[in-house]
Amino acid sequence: MSLAVVGISHHTAPIEVRERFVFSPRAGAEALVRLTREGVGEAVMLSTCNRTEIYIYTAGEGGGGGEGEGNAGEKAGEGRIEQTIELLARQAGYTIEEARRCLYVHGGRNAAEHLFRVVTSLDSMVLGEAQIQGQVRAAYEQAAAEPPPKVVGPVLARLFQTALSVGGRVRSETALGVGAASVPSAAIELAKKVFGSLKGRRALVLGAGEMSELALECLTAEGVRTLVVANRTEERARELAERVGGTSVRFDELPAQLPTTDIIIAATSAPHPVLTRELVERALPGGPRHPLFIVDIALPRDVEPAVDSIENVFLYDIDDLYQVVDESLERRRAEVPAAERIVAQGVDDFWRWYAGLQVVPVIQALRQRAEAVRRTEVEHALRRLAHLAPGDREAIEVLTRQLLNKVLHEPTVRLKEAAADGNAEEVLEMARFLFELGEEKGG
């Protein structure tokens, strides 16, 4: 068995590298289908403003699901991991070696633990942020809903469902998310460092998704006087703007908005910059008369980096939010040990189930062998007891099946326990030898 995750995040690469690995929803779905057609059994892609990750599982590649699987980087699944790295490298326009320098690979138990830490925000740029759980859920549900050929099977389904359950426990049983900052709220904190109070300011929000909605809520709470929402789909922009008493515009109306705007929060899903230097210079010849503060929290970035060179324009991207975030984390950091304990328990629960998968073929082979022996002996005995009534013959069948189940119960339990304890291979080899089960391997 082979379980792994290959990815890139804010821990391993700056934004100008991460944005090269971003897939559109359609391209992401096509990539997962391609992986499964090329031999990967199951696949889920998680793509957020801070990470692109592909979780993969392939059965029947030898190995097994014990502790050593994670520690050894799942040697049995190296071929599938290589396929995933190649796919990500192609998306980024990198060579394989260039991609390796910024990608991470976690195998086996480590892959499961990584997802659990991601979904609980322990791996997030903003510790305790609430958006990541919804993003993980959306990624899983989108992959699970793909039409045939299916890209999600029982293993990744169990992994993601368990991870989401653990995320819910951390939210309800710890204070990790109490008063937690989000990426948009960190952007607003940065704006306050530039302007002081935001009361009376005029803000423009690009995009109408979840991050834009959060940004609008934060701006409203800070007393921003005028709120404008720009989005490619005008209806969605109007709906969002009306909630906060703002107005909506189309993207082609952006130049007219810039001269009176103080703050821009950019959070679209556009594959290319929405705000270019040429557009800003055309709208603001000679530069803005007052400071224009722009925070780009999109990935790929919405604002062309060259905009920062315009006088009186102050451009920040998502990586610039680290300092702001670090200053507001002390309370949430105190909750990390409690969250880590819940994650560890969740990983243990999943791993017991996952490790037990490799013993299933051996248990099935053992029961089939025992049942064949039982059936042969019963048929032989009944030929010599032809005088028995049908009811008596059935009683013999029931009795022997019950005896068989009782005899096999303890070995079955012990095999599953051995798998959960990481000792499966040695015990399974002994079972194959003792019961002449051949070379059935875990799947």
Domain 183-321 is classified in which CATH homologous superfamily?
Answer: NAD(P)-binding Rossmann-like Domain (3.40.50.720)
Tell me the pLDDT tens digit for each residue of 186-214.
898 889 888 999 999 999 999 999 899 99
Active site residue 49: yes
Report the predicted TM-score, pTM, of the whole model to 2 decimal places: 0.77
Cα–Cα distance measured from residue 34 to residue 30, given in angstroms and rounded to the nearest whole number: 6
User: Considering the chain, what percentage of its residues have pLDDT values greater than 70?
Assistant: 92
Q: What is the mean pLDDT of residues 96-101?
A: 96
Neighbours of 146 (CB within 10 A): 16
Cα–Cα distance measured from residue 1 to residue 355, given in angstroms and rounded to the nearest whole number: 9
**What b/e readout covers 217-239, taking b as 16+ CB neighbours within 10 angstroms?**
bbbeebebebbbbbbbebebbbe
pLDDT value at 122 more than 50:
yes
Tell me the pLDDT tens digit for each residue of 6-28.
999 999 999 999 999 999 989 99
Among candidate residues 98, 111, 112, 56, the one with its CA nearest the CA of residue 80: 56
List the beta bridge partners of residue 296: 266, 317
Q: Tell me how many degrees the CA angle 58-59-61 measures, rounded to the nearest 5.
A: 90
Neighbours of 430 (CB within 10 A): 11
Q: Which residue has tokens 């999943």?
A: 350
Q: What is the mean pLDDT of residues 33-44?
A: 93
Q: Tell me how many degrees the CA angle 212-124-141 measures, rounded to the nearest 5.
A: 70
Q: What is the pLDDT of residue 178?
A: 77
- From the options 3.30.70.1560, 3.90.580.10, 3.40.1000.10, 3.30.460.30, give the CATH code of 2-179+333-356: 3.30.460.30
Q: Residue 423: pLDDT band by 50, 70, 90 thresholds?
A: low
Q: What is the pLDDT of residue 424?
A: 65
Amino acid at 29: A
**Cβ atoms of residues 12 and 125 within 8 Å:** no
List the beta bridge partners of residue 51: 9
Q: What is the pLDDT of residue 72?
A: 37
Q: Identify the active-site residue in 8, 43, 46, 49.
A: 49
Q: What is the pLDDT of residue 179?
A: 67
Cα–Cα distance measured from residue 291 to residue 318, given in angstroms and rounded to the nearest whole number: 20
Give the largest Cα separation in the chain, rounded: 109
Classify strands 51-58 and 2-9 as parallel, antiparallel or unpaired. Answer: antiparallel
Cα–Cα distance measured from residue 18 to residue 2, given in angstroms and rounded to the nearest whole number: 26
CB burial class (10 A; 0-12, 13-18, 19+) of residue 40? buried
The set of residues, in sequence order, having a beta carbon less than 8 Å from that of 62 and lying 6+ positions away, is 76, 441, 442
Give the start-to-end residue ranges of the domains of the chain.
Answer: 2-179+333-356, 183-321, 357-435
The tokens of 190 are what?
């940065």
99-108, 308-317, 414-423: least confident range: 414-423
